[in-house]
Amino acid sequence: MATDLTWTGSPGSYAWALLGRAFSIRGTAMRPNILLMAKLVTLDFIFSGQIVMLSRHLVPFIGFFRHVGSPSAFHLALLLIFLVAAASLFLNRHVRVACVVLGMVVVVSIASSMKYYENNREYTALLLVLAGLDDPDGDSWVLRWQVVLLYFAAAVNKVLLAEWRDGYFFQAWMSYLHHAAWPKVAGLFGDRVLGALLAWMAIGTEFALSIGFALRRHVPVLIWVGVAYHTTLVLVMNRSFGMFWIAAPSAYLAFVTWPTEPLPVRFGQELGRLGRWVSVLKRLDFEGAFRWQPVPQGELEISVHGRTHRAWRALVWILLCNPVSYFVVAFFAALPQPEPRAMALIVFAILGAIALSAFAERREGLHGAAMPATGSVNA
């Protein structure tokens, strides 16, 4: 249920309610996972500085844009329209219309300036428009196939370029970025061998993501690999590639079934450090995504899709099921910074915690499945 904006207290409480509305993704005309995707992409567009780069209709693709006022006035109009639509989106007002308007602002910006065009901006515009046009009662198949096409086209484009196939492009790029370390490391493998190996690893990853998302099997693993892939590029290249670092993984949310009912969270009175985390997370549960149930004894537990996660793994799942977590990561990843790889390391730490949680639960599950054969099952 969306946060109520009725002012019943101090200005501080009203500001907290507005913040809660911005973080809320349920109770609107869009599915929660698609609304979260749109908000993350919009947040990145604003805080990464992309918004101030909107077109001034210089050398347009379509001649009509030469006659729509001065470049500065045109730029200001696009900026204001984007901000108004973004405010509507984050306040959960007319969210589908807001998404289409946001995407069309970027489309107009691209059409009115050859200089403004970039693949990552085109992809951002498509995601926002398709999010607004998405059928709330459908299965987001258009958005899903957009993800498939993104990786398929990227892989095919690299295969068709001889510079990528023989490793020359990767070799030249890495020599420029890491001019001290790269020659020493690459020299251990021979001329361009390491460059070609890494290039084909990138191509293979993109083909695998395209095929995997098309088949829609093992989606959690695909999402983990996709986020790790983009974060690896940021770590190695020390750049976020425009909107791609946030926009591409955000689009994975089209493959996610977001919980529609509050998830039961049980916690005992003696949780130690986890108890402090529970207090913070309860405060950040703006839209009642969880049903907090204190119990006399026991550890922290959460039930998701019929599975119960306990202790620190429950904490991981609470963070994964709270939209605030995604906003925090996206916000800090979007901020212009001299060393994007520092945030990439934080993302890898998060991915590591998720992988460790999955491994521990699988190990427990295998151990539990083996117990009946030993005859040691407790009643």
Per-residue confidence (pLDDT) for residue 260, from 0 to 100 = 85
| Residue 167 CB contacts under 8 Å (≥ 6 apart), including other chains | 192, 193, 194, 195, 196, 197, 198, 199
CB 110 within 8 A of CB 116: yes
The residue type found at 236 is V
pLDDT digits (tens, 9 = 90+) for 10-47: 666 777 788 888 999 998 999 999 999 999 999 999 99
Q: Where are the domains of the chain?
A: 263-360
Closest CA to 289 of 29, 8, 5, 27: 27
The residue type found at 158 is K
CB 318 within 8 A of CB 265: yes
Per-residue confidence (pLDDT) for residue 379, from 0 to 100 = 32
- Cα separation, 376 vs 17, in Å, equals 53
Per-residue confidence (pLDDT) for residue 295, from 0 to 100 = 86
Packing angle, helices 244-251 and 323-334, rounded to 10: 160
314: tokens are 């429950």
CB 302 within 8 A of CB 308: yes
3-state secondary structure of 285: coil
Per-residue confidence (pLDDT) for residue 3, from 0 to 100 = 46
- Cα separation, 108 vs 93, in Å, equals 23
Query: Residues 106, 33, 51, CA angle at the centre, nearest 5°?
Result: 25
Cα–Cα distances in angstroms (integers) from residue 213 to residues 156, 218, 305, 336, in the given order: 16, 9, 21, 31
Total residue count of the chain as it appears in this document: 379
Q: In what order do the strands lie in the sheet with 290-294?
A: 290-294, 263-267, 301-304, 307-310
CB 119 within 8 A of CB 151: no
Per-residue confidence (pLDDT) for residue 178, from 0 to 100 = 81
For tokens 């690299």, the residue is: 158
- Cα separation, 15 vs 84, in Å, equals 18
Report the number of secondary-structure helices (H) and strands (E) in the chain: 16, 4
- Cα separation, 185 vs 174, in Å, equals 11
State which residues of the chain have pLDDT below 70.
1-12, 191, 365-379
| Residue 165 CB contacts under 8 Å (≥ 6 apart), including other chains | 158, 159, 196, 199
pLDDT digits (tens, 9 = 90+) for 262-297: 999 998 877 777 888 888 999 999 989 999 998 888
CB 240 within 8 A of CB 333: yes
CB 42 within 8 A of CB 128: yes
Longest CA–CA separation in the chain, Å: 82
CB 322 within 8 A of CB 284: yes
HSE at residue 190, side-chain half, CA atoms within 13 A, is 4
Strands 307-310 and 263-267: unpaired
CB 257 within 8 A of CB 31: no
Give percent of the chain above pLDDT 90.
60
Per-residue confidence (pLDDT) for residue 53, from 0 to 100 = 94
- Cα separation, 341 vs 238, in Å, equals 5
